[in-house]
Amino acid sequence: MRIWLRQGFIEVDGNIPASTAVRVAPASVRIQGEKLDHPQGLTLIFHKPVGCICSRKEEGRLVYDYLPEQWMLREPKLSCVGRLDMDTSGLLILTDDGQLNHRLTAPNRKVPKHYLVRLDRSLQGNETEIFASGALLLDGEQTPCLPAILNVHDAMEAELIITEGRYHQIRRMFAAIGNHVVALQRSRIGGLSLDGLSPEEYRIIDKDALLDGVFSTDQA
Ligand code: URA
């Protein structure tokens, strides 16, 4: 950065600053005449395809591989808001705003997450009641799942709405009642939907619009 400054590449409001120690508004900075890339921060919605992972630390194709390469170098880092597992597709929010991330994922917010589930075996008819009971225990856990809403579409397909984010929760909920999920897609987070995004596509979204979407009760 100092070298760039000495070479006159950096301007703030049209002037070359005296040192790198000066605090400036990111939107007023130009580097070789160009504005910074999203100087106020970056938040986006992404239609995650199956076959990629949300973690940066694991091997394999990452969700970040679908985004512009230079965004991997951003500080603060762009992070997933909650995770979808490798074989799950659908709506994923990414942001570099830690507070926003916390606001969307804090357990007390109980943001409803909607999933479309395709099953290996036919539904028996008692699943809606079991999931709504708040008594379903997942393998290896001591605390039952919070009540969840199951909307049955047909014998092998349903929508499940949960307000928690336990590890592989939907797959484990069906495993706990002797079924198996063969395809899983998150279609909605609160009132926010994929809104026409195709798999692998992303859209930058204003933070306030995102919050309005997630916390709106109008889920048309
Ligand atoms: N439940 C799962 O089993 N997987 C996900 O990715 C999200 C919820």
Enzyme catalytic residues: 85
Provide the percentage of residues in the chain whose pLDDT is more than 70.
Answer: 98
pLDDT at 219 (0 to 100)? 52
Cα–Cα distances in angstroms (integers) from residue 192 to residues 95, 111, 114, 127, in the given order = 15, 11, 10, 26
Residue whose CA is closest, atom 7 of ligand 1?
84
Q: Whose CA is nearest to atom 5 of ligand 1?
A: 84
Per-residue confidence (pLDDT) for residue 22, from 0 to 100: 81
The reported pLDDT for the residue numbered 23 is: 85
Q: Mean of the pLDDT values across residues 115-129? A: 98
Whether the CB-CB separation of 149 and 131 falls below 8 Å is answered with yes
**Is the per-residue pLDDT at 37 higher than 70?**
yes
- Please give the full DSSP string across 53-106, using - where no structure is assigned: BS-SSSSS-BGGGGS-GGGGG-SSPPEESS---TTEEEEEEEES-HHHHHHHH-
Among the atoms of ligand 1, which is closest to the Cα of residue 113? 8
- C-alpha 65 – ligand 1 centre gap (Å): 21
Q: Is 173 exposed, middle or buried (0-12, 13-18, 19+ CB in 10 A)?
A: buried
pLDDT > 50? residue 93: yes
**Banded model confidence at residue 220, pLDDT cuts 50, 70, 90:** very low
Q: Average of pLDDT values for 2-29?
A: 87
Domains for the chain: give ranges and CATH numbers.
Answer: 2-35 (no CATH), 43-107+191-214 (3.30.70.580), 112-189 (3.30.70.1560)
Interval 58-66 mean pLDDT: 94
Q: How far is the CA of 181 from the centre of ligand 1 (A)?
A: 10
62 residue type, one letter: L
- Range of weakest confidence among 9-13, 49-53, 118-122: 9-13
| pTM score, whole prediction | 0.91
CA–CA dist 104, 28 (Å, integer): 30
Phi–psi pair at 63, nearest 5 degrees:
-60, -30
pLDDT band at 178 (very low <50, low <70, confident <90, very high): very high
Lowest-pLDDT range of 28-32, 88-92, 126-130? 28-32
Alpha carbon nearest to ligand 1 atom 4, residue: 168
Question: What average pLDDT does the segment 163-173 reach?
Answer: 97
- Mean of the pLDDT values across residues 164-169? 96
Predicted confidence at residue 26, as pLDDT, reads 84
Give the mean pLDDT of 26-35.
88
Q: What percent of the chain is predicted at pLDDT more than 90? A: 79
